[in-house]
Structure 1
């Protein structure tokens, strides 16, 4: 059920607006139709009361035969009028309170004319069969005549009120009054206009919501941009007061984060750089010592410390270094890096890699690919590269022939100083920063690095970067 519900704030607001519009319109139509029906019923009772008064006033002094003649002369197809010894309304009990009250009113008003009883009944509508040649369907008639004909047809098919009024001599006056039909709120003429108005309201609501939520969509994009690059341009602090406050807070947060990260990066780089001087002095002093196992062990330890210092400097300074982005042929760059390793090869011909162009910082991208390839060579011996295009992205796959990794370790190994020797054998150890630097570089360029196990064995590192159209 939840998947059918809106997933965004504008969609929810639009759903609320449309639902509210529909509910208010339906409620309004219902109330108007109900009030019109109630008012129309009161008018029809008034019409019957007046007709009864007119007929009784005309006939009360006439003889029985004269009444019958008058009734025959006044009766017509739409308004039947008869005088007889039996009432047309057989039941003396009214079907509702309104009719019962009307009967009392008639008796009280007409008693001075010798009326002793009155009965009123509601009759259901009976639509007469349409006869050929009816004026309503004649296109040669004028508009007024067609309207009158349609109204007569509606009256003929409408509900009726039948009244029976008893004179003092026992004779009954029976007549029928057709009730005025209540037209529907929506008709063929009004429906298009109502639909147009509702459509305009919905369109204006959509436009207004897009205008109102546009700044917040910009905030969302800015947060995504900041998560990939802390040095992205700050937001413009213009617009509504709420948006200006949110943009100002976001810009301040970005500035504080950038200062915090830069301070830590510069501190790490300075510490690693300062280690190089005592390491150099220690290396020179070791050269003065004679050959021994202790000297060999210390030399190996110094080499490890120097490697760690270099990795820390690389990790801390790759974001600080100012380098402009350029268009780079990823296939040529990957081939040049692969040529530096004897155990690295491409699975496809070089011709299929043409046109794989991305926009990135050249030195940083080379470091990213080198770290991934070097990691695969150390832990997986032979390495296979593959370059392909996935929609708008360029994907470089680096697959080794090692034992792979448990899936739960795929994200863990990207953390700084995490080594994989616990799950994969190796001859030499690294600093645990190679994959961290590679992913940080890829994400700063709008891409990413992900790991997976290959079905044939070995670990796959997938470098995905946004592609651009080749200038050639």
Structure 2
């Protein structure tokens, strides 16, 4: 069920707005339809009451022999009328309470005109075959708007249901007449439906526009937080927009400043410790020269070389973040080609265009590519480089001829001081920082590095860098 629900804040806001709009529209139209039906019924009762009062007043002043002439004069296709000894409305009990109350009202009001009883019933429209075609006069192209509307109303009344009334005079005659009920027009019609649809479309369009405008700062906030995760030195968020967004932006900027200070302190500490180690190491190396041919001299010298290598590696790891280069456009093909020329074990061939331009820090990207090639040459003897373009990114593929890496350790090797080679030999195992530095540089440039075992053998490293616009 959850997969059919919106997964984002703008979608939820739009869903709530549209659902609320539809609910309010349905409720409003239901209330209007109910009120209109009630008002129409009261109005029809009023019309029947007024007509009965007029007819009773007229017929009570005319002798019984002349009433038939009045019936003939007053009758028409929409308002039928008759005189009889028996009522047309046979039931002495009204079909509902409203009609029963109206009967009592008629008897009470018409007593002064000699009316002793009244019966009211509902009748359904009965239009004989062929009458529909002759109800109105033929269409007249010269007829005006009012004339056509009157003709339409007359046709509707002739085909509508009605209220039949039978009132008895004190001489025993029943006056029967039918008052047509005005047919209710549908709420949705050919004229009103476009209006309703246009209003609904306008409200939905305004809701979408307002929602996108309202949530735009939060989308920018999301992108900025992701950028901070990739580069803690990214520019701070602009504090503009709604008060809620301003508060969130200030909190993120404060967090970024604290995180930047925290990282800088650790980087400076690591660099300072590694740098300060050089003084005692130099002093030990000078004193080691005094041992001349002592048996332990070779072992101590070897250990000193390891310590100095570790110190240099830590300084490199810390200093690549401390050095702040200005990003610029770089000819990536030329950069890779220049680095590959320094290795006899590297082959770099590409059949595609050399127009590979990216934006980044030149020294950092050179270091990133160098670390990847060093890793391939160290563990795989030879490295084969290929440059291509995919989905707007520049992709550098480096394949070596080594044994590869177990699948469960492909991501682990990017952690600092993690080496697949478990020996303590720094010549074969390295210090475990090259891939860490390379991936951090790639991500700061908006790209990434992935490792995979090549089906043909060896390890395949893939560096993706966004191509400059």
Q: Is the pair's TM-score, using the shorter chain for normalization, greater than 0.5?
A: yes
Mapped to 2, the partners of 1:293 and 1:152 lie a distance apart of 127
- What is the aligned partner in structure 2 of residue 390 from structure 1? 390
The equivalences for 1:448-459 within 5 A come to: 448-459=448-459
1:124 Cα deviation (Å)? 3.0
Partner of 1:159: 161
Cα deviations across residues 116-170 of structure 1 (Å, max 9, x unaligned)? 3322111234567642794474332111111111111121222211112233444
Quote the offset at 1:38 in angstroms.
0.5
What's 2:405 paired with? Answer: 405
Cα deviations by residue, 1:200-258 (Å, 9 ceiling, x for unpaired): 33333333333322322332222122222222222233443333322222222111111
Q: What secondary structure sits across from 1:31 in the alignment?
A: helix
SS in 1 for 2:329: strand
Go from structure 1 to structure 2 and tell me whether the alpha carbon gap of 1:261 and 1:120 turns closer, same or farther (over 3 Å shift): same
Three-state SS of the structure 2 residue aligned to 1:176 is: strand
1:296 and 2:313 correspond: no
Offset of residue 292 of structure 1: 6.7
2:74 maps to which residue? 74
Please state if 1:251 is matched with 2:226.
no
In 1, Cα distance between the equivalents of 2:60 and 2:151? 35
Give the stretch that moved more between structures: 113-122 or 425-434: 425-434
Counterparts of 1:416-435 in structure 2, within 5 Å, are 416-421=416-421, 428-435=428-435
Bigger mean CA offset, 322-331 vs 270-279:
322-331
Deviation at 1:62, TM superposition (A): 4.7
Q: How far is the alpha carbon of 1:260 from its aligned partner?
A: 0.9
- Tell me how far 1:181 sits from its aligned partner: 2.4
Judge conservation of contact 1:136–1:150 (CA < 8 Å) in 2: no
Tell me the alpha carbon deviations over residues 358-390 of structure 1, each in whole angstroms, 9 at most, x when there is no partner: 112111111111111211222233322221111
Q: Equivalent residue for 1:142?
A: 144
Given that 1:311 and 1:433 are in contact with CA atoms closer than 8 Å, whether structure 2 keeps it comes out as yes
Aligned residues: 466
Whole-angstrom distance in 1 between the partners of 2:197 and 2:342 = 71
Q: Tell me, what secondary structure is at the counterpart of 1:450?
A: strand
Contact 1:135 / 1:146 at 8 angstroms: preserved in 2? no
5 Å matches for 1:107-256?
107-125=107-125, 130-131=132-133, 134-135=136-137, 137-256=139-258
Instruction: Check conservation: 1:353, 1:387, Cα contact below 8 A.
Output: no
Per the TM alignment, residue 322 of structure 1 is displaced from its structure 2 partner at its CA by: 2.6
Residues 387, 126 of structure 1: alpha-carbon distance in 2 compared, 3 angstrom cutoff: farther
Distance 1:312 1:95, change over 3 A: same
In 1, Cα distance between equivalents of 2:88 and 2:298: 129
Deviation at 1:20, TM superposition (A): 1.4
Distance 1:429 1:312, change over 3 A: same
- Over 3 Å counting, the alpha-carbon distance change for 1:390 and 1:142 in structure 2 is same
In the other structure, the counterpart of 2:267 is: 265
Aligned to 1:319: 321
> Aligned pair in 2 of structure 1 residues 126, 33: CA closer, same or farther (>3 Å)?
farther
- Change beyond 3 A, Cα 1:292–1:154: farther
The residue aligned with 2:53 is: 53
Q: Deviations over 1:316-363 (max 9, x none)?
A: 0101113222322222222232233333223x43x4151111112111
Aligned match of 1:41? 41
Give the Å deviation of 1:35.
Answer: 0.7
Question: How many Å apart are 1:265 and its aligned residue?
Answer: 0.3
Are residues 87 and 317 of structure 1, via their aligned partners in 2, closer, same or farther at CA, if it must alter by over 3 Å? same
TM-score normalised over the length of structure 2: 0.91
Gaps of 5+ in 1: none
* CA contact 1:136–1:146 (8 Å) conserved in 2: no
CA deviation profile, 1:268-326 (whole Å, cap 9, x unmatched): 01111111222233333334434576333333322222221111111101011132223
1 CA distance for matches of 2:284 and 2:160? 113
1-side partners of 2:342 and 2:273: how far apart? 31
Aligned in 2, Cα 1:104/1:443: closer, same or farther, shift over 3 Å?
same
User: CA RMSD of the aligned region, Å?
Assistant: 2.6
The 2-side partners of 1:61 and 1:327 are apart by: 108
1:83 shift after superposition: 1.0
Rounded Cα–Cα distance in structure 2 between residues aligned with 1:396 and 1:186: 64
1:426 Cα shift?
10
- The CA distance in 2 between the partners of 1:327 and 1:202, in whole Å, is 44
Counterpart of 2:447? 447
Give the TM-score normalised by the residue count of structure 1.
Answer: 0.91
Change (3 A) 1:61 1:31: same
8 Å contact kept, 2:422–2:429: no
Change (3 A) 1:127 1:287: farther
